[in-house]
Structure 1
Amino acid sequence: MDNKREQNPSPVPKKTIPPYMKAVSGSLGGVVEACCLQPIDVIKTRLQLDTTGTYRGIIHCGATVSRTEGVRALWKGLTPFATHLTLKYTLRMGSNAVFQSAFKDSKTGKISNQGRLMAGFGAGVLEALAIVTPFEVVKIRLQQQRGLSPELLKYKGPIHCARMIIREEGLFGLWAGAAPTVMRNGTNQAAMFTAKNAFDVLLWKKHEGDGKVLQPWQSMISGFLAGTAGPVCTGPFDVVKTRLMAQSRGGGELKYKGMVHAIRTIYAEEGLLALWKGLLPRLMRIPPGQAIMWAVADQVTGFYERRYLRNAPL
């Protein structure tokens, strides 16, 4: 028996990348993603807010905005969007790593799929409350403004917009639409982190801490596939979030009283498919965005693995 125990020692916990490195990798990926994909986000917001049929589709919407407001209008809200993405990915990647550490088996260092889902959901809820909701409220208020003359616009910029919302609607005005945002982000991140890991293992035989660094194109494929399912599942939450964030409490009675009321109202007035308005631009933005973000993030964490984990003592 003693010989068998010596021949089959207990498994050694796997070496892992620390949360702060995950946070750094996410922040760098967020900057690159924001600059590349902001126009698609503007188009998505305009389509979701279009209740009169002004825009006939993605191309018509983009062309109309460019023609009537200038090409730069497609980058409206870039400052809060880029800041929001950078902070969001920093918190998302870092907190997910912390949550995964809490759910890992203390002896083997491995985490189950259920633990990975819970860690992703926790990271999504945290980012939704701390960062995503207030930044998206400001971004959406800026994006819904139409016109070329700055003096005619209610909000002159992100800081002015935030101040106006707080003055007219109170501090909690920055957290309009928090409930559907929590549901959207929690579900998205639970699916995304689990799917990204699964695709890395399935397609490239890549396991965290093994020292293997994916090529950028490999990371992009895994990230793209992982980012596809979320928008389809969370479309209604995203539409409701946008509608709740866009309405101003300074203009009298609110049309939508909350998440459930908004879903019922949109369904009654516009039909079931209206709850998936803006889905195509979301699919044009989120999967490519995840592809870009993971291509950057995996290179950063891959460098750390090569430099500090491959030859590190167990």
Structure 2
Amino acid sequence: MQAQTLKQAPALTTAAEDKTNQKRFHGFVAGVTSGVTKLVVGHPFDTIKVRMQTSGSDRFRGPMHCLMETLKKEGPKALYKGATPPLIGWAFMDSIMLGSLTTYKMLLQGGDPNVKLTPFWSGIAGVGAGITVSFVAAPIEHVKARLQIQYDAKTRLYAGPVDCARQLIRNNGVTGLWKGLVATLWFRSWFFMWWSSYEIYATQLRQRTNMSEAAINFWAGGLGANTFWLFSFPCDVVKNKIMTQPDVKNPPFPTIVSCFKHVYRTDGLKGFYRGFLPCLLRAFPTNACALTSFELTMRWLRKLDE
């Protein structure tokens, strides 16, 4: 009996490890569906946001004016300028972000899925995911932002994402693609607010409503995203200004601090929230849909394993 028990134990350990690895893998797979959903729903809003953030206050009177000018002069396709990098990039980025978030949560749970993380520790897992994905996100967002501010033939410097990346590498080396990495890390450290607030919203909705789990994912996802952007938006403004500044040896904003000072000196505190309205309008439906598709995919993958 003792020998039989010793033979069975490794099999049980292997089965548990396989199940844990499957759960980690699920996060990366489901993240792809989140990224694709995010692009389809959110890219037009993102284009308006980036144009508002990087233009002078004399170019657009507000987000609606920016939208109408874009449609009038460039047509509806302009709202999806720079969409190719995030089509590939957001699917990849969300796979890394949500997959690593799942992994970090499992590590904090000690490998026990029955352990319920507090909002604080969910936020810590979010910070880890934000730092992890920043190294992938920085070059993708750099190329995307440069393509989004090409308004017409006069301002067109790049034929497309590949040409943009090629020029950046030619002028600055491969590391030129990662211009704005520090600002990206700073910006994504605010994922703490996203994932901690997401848990709070989801818990309250479960306790106070009779919503389905999918509806809870939708509302908590949208509200969590808006909470994140409320705190992180000034960092995003600085990040995009650094990424879209002229590609020269001595750029106007060599550091985050220099860019921060420029924004404050030029537009005051309101300059850090320029383009906030289209961002907020985009954040709720985009992330609500993306997180719903992520959670639905996770549940579907879990059922396949049963």
Alignment of 1:128-277 (within 5 A): 128-129=134-135, 131-147=136-152, 153-187=156-190, 189-204=191-206, 214-250=212-248, 253-277=250-274
Contact 1:214 1:298 survives alignment (8 Å)? no
Cα displacement (A) at 1:198: 2.7
CA distance in 2, matches of 1:106, 1:89: 23
* Unmatched segments (≥5 aa) in structure 1: 1-12, 207-212, 310-314
Distance 1:203 1:155 in 2: 47
SS at match of 1:146: coil
Partner of 2:122: 116
Equivalent position of 2:81 in the other structure: 76
* Distance in 2 of aligned mates of 1:230 and 1:113: 14
Contact map agreement 1:105 1:111 (CA 8 A) in 2: no
Select 1:63's aligned residue among 62, 68, 82. Answer: 68
Whether contact under 8 Å (2:109, 2:117) holds in the other structure is yes
Quote the Cα distance in structure 2 between the aligned partners of 1:279 and 1:294.
21
Shift of 1:301: 1.3
Structure 2 match to 1:44: 49
User: More displaced, 20-29 or 119-128?
Assistant: 20-29
Structure with the higher helix share, 1 or 2: 2
Q: Which amino acid aligns with 2:171?
A: E
Measured in 1, the distance between the counterparts of 2:304 and 2:143 equals 40
CA drift at 1:307: 4.4
The count of residues paired between Structure 1 and Structure 2 equals 285
- Deviation of the 1:216 alpha carbon: 3.6
Q: Partners of 1:140 and 1:101 in 2: how far apart?
A: 34
| CA distance 1:48–1:119, change in 2 (3 Å) | same
- Secondary structure of 1:241 counterpart: helix
Q: Is the 8 A contact 1:180 1:241 kept in 2?
A: yes
Superposed counterparts of 1:11-26, under 5 Å: 18-26=23-31
TM-score by structure 2 length? 0.86
What letter is aligned with 1:87? F
Give the counterpart of 1:279 among 264, 276, 282: 276
Query: Could you tell me how far 1:283 is from its partner in structure 2?
Result: 0.6
Q: Is the 8 A contact 1:30 1:293 kept in 2?
A: yes
Partner of 1:24, secondary structure, is helix
* Amino acid corresponding to residue 167 of structure 2 in structure 1: M
Specify the code of the residue in structure 2 equivalent to 1:283.
L
Q: Is the 8 A contact 1:104 1:115 kept in 2?
A: no
Match of 2:295 among 276, 288, 298: 298
Name the % identity. Answer: 26
Cα distance between partner residues in 2 of 1:117 and 1:276: 24
Aligned mates of 1:259, 1:197 — CA distance in 2 = 31
* Conservation of the 8 A alpha-carbon contact between 1:214 and 1:299: no
User: Matches of 1:32 and 1:120 in 2, distance apart?
Assistant: 20
Q: Could you tell me whether the CA contact under 8 Å between 2:108 and 2:121 is conserved in 1?
A: yes
Q: Give per-residue Cα distances to partners, 1:258-300, cap 9 Å, x unaligned.
A: 1111111211122111011111111111222110101111111
Matching residue's letter, 2:146: R
| Residues in 2 aligned to 1:201 and 1:114: alpha-carbon distance in whole angstroms | 13
Deviation string, structure 1 residues 128-174 (Cα, Å, up to 9, x no partner): 12x1110011001111112158xx72200101100001101222221
Measured in 2, the distance between the counterparts of 1:86 and 1:214 equals 26
**Is contact 2:48-2:63 (8 Å) kept?**
yes
TM-score, with normalisation over the residues of structure 1? 0.84
